[in-house]
Chain A
Amino acid sequence: AQKVTQAQTEISVVEKEDVTLDCVYETRDTTYYLFWYKQPPSGELVFLIRRNSFDEQNEISGRYSWNFQKSTSSFNFTITASQVVDSAVYFCALSEPLSGGSYIPTFGRGTSLIVHP
């Protein structure tokens, strides 16, 4: 079963529009971590945010905000007033404990965001 679902394969918006990227996860653990990464055309994944399962407080960082809802197992990402530089593939990831105590992230398939000028 897929652990992280990013149902939106590609989203296309015009600059200055707000856009929300959806992430739904599945886990049986009570302790887990959620992440968002950005992968621009250059290829390097860049960490954006980490959230642990006990912290449901939403977060805002500049034009970025994240909405964590345990009740719906979702960790959505909103970009306000999008810019062309936001064009990238965005990955949501879930890190849960495995046997032996290690945590290894599982990535969603990614959402390609295209921001047109």
Chain B
Amino acid sequence: DAMVIQNPRYQVTQFGKPVTLSCSQTLNHNVMYWYQQKSSQAPKLLFHYYDKDFNNEADTPDNFQSRRPNTSFCFLDIRSPGLGDAAMYLCATSRPGTGGYNEQFFGPGTRLTVL
């Protein structure tokens, strides 16, 4: 089945130790997104790619970086995780539709714990 896959599902890192979260998709969608979701809150968009065109949200900290080496894969790098970065990280994809983007398909998320 076509899907969005995130690895790992659970990630534990130490304060200040770089960590990379990965996302892959078999849907062949042009657009990929990274969201941060903290407990009982709405998903917060960090950045998105339209193909290789990178779009950073204005309030995304510099500590967060992303790479998209090809259509299928997208990575989220957190260079120096702080305690406040502990959250669920959601990857999503969508394909552009007439007049805008269509609905998003989400992965299961990676829950990041920072010790």
Give Cα A104 to B96, complex, Å. Answer: 11
A33 at the interface (CB under 8 A from B): yes
Cross-interface CB contact of B41 among A47, A50, A109, cutoff 8 Å: A109
Q: By the criterion CB–CB under 8 Å, are B105 and A47 in contact?
A: yes
A47 to B104, Cβ gap below 8 A? Answer: yes
Select one of A37, A43, A46, A95 contacting B101, CB under 8 A.
Answer: A95
Among the stretches B13-21, B68-76, B106-114, the one at the interface with A is: B106-114
User: Within 8 Å CB of A35, what residues of B?
Assistant: 103-104
**Size of chain A's interface in residues, with CB distance under 8 A?**
24
Within 8 A of A (CB), among B74-115: 88, 90, 92, 99-109, 111
B55 contacts across to A, CB distance below 8 A: 102
Q: How far is the CA of A45 from the CA of B41 in the complex (A)?
A: 13
Chain A positions within 8 Å of B90 at CB level? 43, 45
C-alpha spacing A103/B102, complex, angstroms: 9
| Contact residues of B between 48 and 65, Cβ < 8 Å to A | 48, 50, 55
Considering the chains assembled together, what is the distance between the CA atoms of A108 and B103 in angstroms?
Answer: 16
A44-B107, A95-B101, A97-B100 known; A104 vs B45 contact (CB < 8 Å): yes
Known contacts A42-B108, A104-B48; is-contact A47 B43 (Cβ 8 Å): no
A50 contacts B103, CB within 8 Å? yes
Residues on the B chain within 8 Å of A103, using CB: 99-101
Tell yes or no: B42 within 8 A of A by CB.
Answer: yes
Q: Does A31 contact B (CB under 8 A)?
A: yes
Residues on A with beta carbons closer than 8 Å to the beta carbon of B40: 110, 112
Roughly how many angstroms separate A105 CA and B48 CA in the complex, as a whole number?
A: 11
Q: How far is the CB of A55 from chain B (nearest CB, A)?
A: 12
Which of A42, A50, A91, A104 lies in contact with B42, CB distance below 8 A?
A91
A16 to B107 CA separation, bound complex (whole angstroms): 30
Partner of A44, one of B42, B102, B103, B108: B108
Beta-carbon contact of A33 and B100 below 8 Å:
yes
A-B contact pairs, 18 of them (CB 8 A): A35-B104, A37-B106, A43-B88, A44-B108, A45-B92, A46-B106, A47-B104, A52-B99, A91-B42, A91-B43, A95-B101, A102-B50, A102-B101, A103-B100, A104-B48, A109-B42, A110-B40, A112-B40
